[in-house]
Amino acid sequence: MRRTLHRLLTLATAAALAVALPAGTASAAEYPDPYPAAGETQLHDPTMIRLADGRYIAYGSHRDVDAHVSTDMVNWTRQGGAFAPQNVPSWWDRYTTQDRPWAPDISYANGQYWLYYAVSTFGSQNSAIGLATSPTGAPGTFTDRGIVLSSATGDRYNAIDPAVLWDGGRLWMTFGSYWTGIHMVELNPATGLRSGNPPITHLATRPDAPYAVEAGQVIKRGNWYYLFASYDACCAGLDSTYKIRVGRSSAPTGPFTDSTGRSMLNGGGDLLLGNSGRYLGPGGQHVLLGDGGRDLLVYHYYDTQRGGEPHLAISRLGWTAAGWPVVVPTTG
């Protein structure tokens, strides 16, 4: 799961999120409810894509990259994992004996589905990011392509929480958690792996120990690159304090700043989504642009009506006139 301990940060300015919202849109502070979700929705760190056959598939942490499938984005069933049991990579055992993979990221490019994920020993830098590919994206069809990046005690980063950006023929991977936070490295778009020893760029961290920022994802919309990240404590049930923050830059490698101009290398980041009603500790997010004309924010939360269980949630994203994302109602 996306690495956590404790988190904290500044509140986004109301002005930035209240600028020229569409008619009927709630302010960011009200956090409209996500889309209804039913069935087997217990999932951590979801990443979601619509397959060629029209089904939605959400992969998440644990098991063999937990797979949940839906035909309507509402009713979900668990259908095994990304890997068939006989195809689980043996190298995982060098990094973990528990929990198996965490925090996957799925994308589609060059005629195949690319699934990045992490394996790690909890609370350590004994971590690695792996890649698997599939022609269909369906559960049980992924083939291991090996280790993309690893880390060990004393490294300046932790090799978990991958997310990739395909941008004009180039491929970038965001990763990292705690220690010095979130980083980015360029990958070879033909193989999905590193070529040579490309530089690793620092994108975000916190000035306060334990530097609790993780689960970074960079997307491109218009001329801006946006860095979404989770702050504070994940994975603690009703004690979770996760929240989602965002900054932007004119380049994929930053520097990323929030709407007040504060750098995400110094604790910046506008608050996009926090606690709301039964939806506690939202985070481990994945942004899906242009799904049927909608931009979606996919994440997990801890359900106060079900004892703090983690569940899948999908909210709709809108954009202010100034170009900042905001959670908006799922209808209208």
Residues designated catalytic: 45, 214
Amino acid identity, residue 279? Y
Residue 226: both structure tokens together: 């946006």
Q: 65-75 burial, b for 16+ CB within 10 Å, e for fewer?
A: bbbbbbeebee
DSSP state of 276: B
Question: How far apart are alpha carbons 65 and 301 in whole angstroms?
Answer: 18
Element (H, E) at 120: strand 112-120
Residue 282: both structure tokens together: 């939202």
DSSP state of 3: -
CA dihedral (70, 74, 80, 81) positive or negative: positive
Question: How far apart are alpha carbons 247 and 263 in whole angstroms?
Answer: 8
DSSP state of 257: B
Contact 328, 22 (CB under 8 A): yes
- What's the burial of 1, exposed, middle or buried (CB within 10 Å: 0-12/13-18/19+)? buried
Question: How far apart are alpha carbons 308 and 278 in whole angstroms?
Answer: 9
Kindly give, in sequence order, each residue whose CB lies less than 8 Å from that of residue 191, ignoring residues fewer than 6 positions away: 145
DSSP state of 82: S
